[in-house]
C-alpha cells in the first residue's frame, strides 16, 4: 500500500492486538510533517476527526497513528478515549472547523521532543495533551 493511511492500517493490523478490532474509521493516520512542510512551521502530525465520530458510543476510543519520521514505516500509537475529545470540545481546548458540511476537530500534534503529542495550533484557553495515551 502506497498511501500513508494504507501503510498505517497495515502497521496497525500487524502490531496491535485487539479483542474487538475497531472499524477503520476509528483509526486515524498522519504522516510526519517537517517544519518546512507544516502550517505551524514546526514538526507536527495533523489529524482531522469528525465530531460525529467522537459522539458515537462504540468503540469508546480513537486510535491515532503518527509516522515516527519522514521516511519511517513505523508509527507511534495513541489510543485516546472519546471522552477526552468530548471534554476538549466542551471546554474549548480544540479547534472545530467546517469541512464538506461536517464539523471536524482539527489537531496539529507536536512531534518535537519537548511537548510531543500536544495540540499546538489551537490558540484557545487550553491545549489538548495526548502523551499519556501512547501505547
- What residues make up the domain containing 99? 4-133
As to burial, measured by CB atoms within 10 angstroms (0-12 exposed, 13-18 middle, 19+ buried), residue 6 is exposed
Q: What is the count of structural domains for the chain?
A: 1
Alpha carbons within 13 A on the beta-carbon side of 22: 22
Helix (H) or strand (E) holding 95: strand 95-99
Residue 12: per-residue pLDDT? 92
Q: Do 27 and 6 touch, CB atoms closer than 8 A?
A: no
Query: pLDDT per residue over 9-61, tens digit each?
Result: 999 989 987 755 666 568 999 999 999 888 788 999 999 999 998 987 777 88
Residue 19: per-residue pLDDT? 56
Q: Which residue has the cell 498511501?
A: 3
Give the single-character DSSP code of 134.
B
pTM of the predicted protein model: 0.91
Query: pLDDT per residue over 78-111, tens digit each?
Result: 999 999 999 999 998 998 999 999 999 999 999 9
Amino acid at each position: 500500500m502506497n498511501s500513508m493511511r494504507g501503510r498505517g492500517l497495515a502497521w496497525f493490523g500487524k502490531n496491535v492486538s485487539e479483542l474487538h478490532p475497531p472499524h477503520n474509521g476509528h483509526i486515524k493516520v498522519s504522516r510526519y510533517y517537517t517544519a518546512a512542510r507544516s502550517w505551524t512551521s514546526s514538526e507536527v502530525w495533523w489529524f482531522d476527526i469528525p465530531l460525529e465520530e467522537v459522539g458515537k458510543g462504540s468503540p469508546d476510543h480513537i486510535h491515532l497513528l503518527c509516522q515516527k519520521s519522514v521516511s519511517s514505516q513505523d508509527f507511534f500509537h495513541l489510543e485516546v478515549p472519546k471522552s477526552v475529545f468530548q471534554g476538549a470540545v466542551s471546554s474549548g481546548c480544540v479547534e472545530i472547523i467546517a469541512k464538506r458540511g461536517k464539523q471536524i476537530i482539527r489537531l496539529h500534534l507536536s512531534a518535537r521532543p519537548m511537548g510531543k503529542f500536544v495540540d499546538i495550533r489551537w490558540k484557545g484557553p487550553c491545549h489538548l495533551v495526548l502523551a499519556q495515551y501512547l501505547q
